[in-house]
Amino acid sequence: MTRKEWTRMIFMYIISTLLAICMGCTNSSETKDDGLRVQNSKYSGYWSGFWVQSEDEVSSWDNWGDFIGMDAQGDGSVSIDDDLDGFYENDWFYYTIYEDGTIRGDVFDGIINENEEIIVLIDTDRSDNALAIQTAIKEASSMQNSDFFGAYIVCEFGFDVNTNAHWTSRWELIANGNGTFDYSILDHSDGSTGSGSMDYVMSENGRFVVTTNGDKGMLIADGSCFVLLDDDYSDQTLEFSIGVRKSTGVTLSSLAGEYIVVRFEGDKEGGVIDFYTSFIESVVDNAGGADFEILAASDNDLISGHYTFTVTDTGEVTIPETGDQGIASVNNGLLVFVDTDSSNDDDVSLTIGVKKTR
């Protein structure tokens, strides 16, 4: 270890220790403007998921992603200490979580769901020429192949890491619970179609690897949703996805509530490729309507408005105004949408909403 590395390690230890003491003193009494208490302890334990970043290099974008492990201390700090590529090993990030699950951090803003098993984060600050999205699931125990079963709707965003071309897709995945799953593309922004079968191996903590192509994933304890990352650049592509298992008895009223929503968007208007991120608050009524307000955006376009949506009994959701389609997980307070139609506005996007804790 070099002297510089040793000095940095000691410095980060001191800072994290001081922060832990500070957070411990204010964890239950500090409030924000609307009176919500700080509850940093919501985010604790070990988590796994994807971190995808787009860096603006003036004439082009550099897009990369990592499947990471996060050791959340429950005191307002988290260590990224299990990146498979080693790039972010031992880095620390800091945050404040309020009792409704809303997260404000030094790099990311986002939300943790009421069950404290899903965290969604977005970086909308373009001043450093970088934007990012991070989604993770809390690790479990005693997981096995049979926990991954049923019909899932998967929403995906992908890049070509050389040309910055990007796409979105929505597909159905049928997990058989025996180490195999079948898939079929339902919609794709470039018109692609396809279906097939793949194999996977599940670890006890819920991490899994698709052995057919090397994709890495994390399955929630009850098997109802997962995150997935293709970070094998040998084919020049990077893809990140969220899958939600279909359910029964989903109604408009079961989706009502207040949500924090993050959005990752790719645009190619006029042949110029660009990427955007947004941090949004949305209030969903019990009759298929929702109001939204963009709280932060990489392009500073802070607008508000209204949209409508429909939902099937199995939880599949459609927004007629935009054509976005996706799926809801009522038990996890999760909404996932993907825009696969770039014909009118030249953009595609992946949107994730998490219901605030009541």
252-299 pLDDT, tens digit per residue, is 999 999 999 999 999 877 667 889 999 999 999 999 999 999 999 999
Residue 102's closest CA among 177, 169, 38, 180?
A: 38
Mean pLDDT of 21-40: 59
50: helix, strand or coil: strand
Of all residues in the chain, what percent carry a pLDDT higher than 90? 70
pLDDT for 32 beyond 80: no
Dmax over CA atoms of the chain, in Å, equals 62
CATH annotation of 253-355: 2.40.128.120
Model confidence over 322-346: pLDDT tens digits? Answer: 899 999 999 999 999 999 987 767 7
Mean pLDDT of 119-142: 94
pLDDT, residue 10, reads 36
Residue 167's closest CA among 201, 144, 191, 132?
A: 191
Q: Of the segments 61-75, 116-130, 342-356, which one has the largest average pLDDT value?
A: 116-130
pLDDT, residue 60, reads 66
CA distances 227 to 67, 219, 243, 276, Å, are 10, 7, 6, 21
pLDDT for 165 beyond 90: no
pLDDT for 57 beyond 70: no
pLDDT, residue 56, reads 79
pLDDT for 12 beyond 80: no
pLDDT, residue 320, reads 93
228 pLDDT band, cuts 50/70/90, is very high
Of all residues in the chain, what percent carry a pLDDT higher than 70? 85
Residues sharing a CB contact under 8 Å with residue 40, sequence separation 6 or more, in sequence order: 23, 27, 74, 75, 76, 95, 96, 97
240 pLDDT band, cuts 50/70/90, is very high
For the chain, the domains span 3-52+68-128, 145-245, 253-355
pLDDT, residue 18, reads 41
The amino acid sitting at 58 is V
- Name the average pLDDT for the chain: 87
pLDDT, residue 8, reads 40
Of 8-17, 101-110, 198-207, 337-346, give the lowest mean pLDDT range.
8-17
Question: pTM for the full model?
Answer: 0.89
User: Do the beta carbons of residue 311 and residue 328 sit within 8 Å?
Assistant: yes
CATH 2.40.160.90 fits 145-245, yes or no: yes
pLDDT, residue 22, reads 45
**Gyration radius (Cα) of the chain, Å:** 20
Sign of CA dihedral 287, 154, 322, 194: negative
Mean pLDDT of 209-227: 97
28 pLDDT band, cuts 50/70/90, is very low
User: Do the beta carbons of residue 261 and residue 305 sit within 8 Å?
Assistant: no
Top pLDDT among 154 and 31 is at 154
pLDDT, residue 163, reads 83
Mean pLDDT of 43-48: 95
Top pLDDT among 80 and 125 is at 125
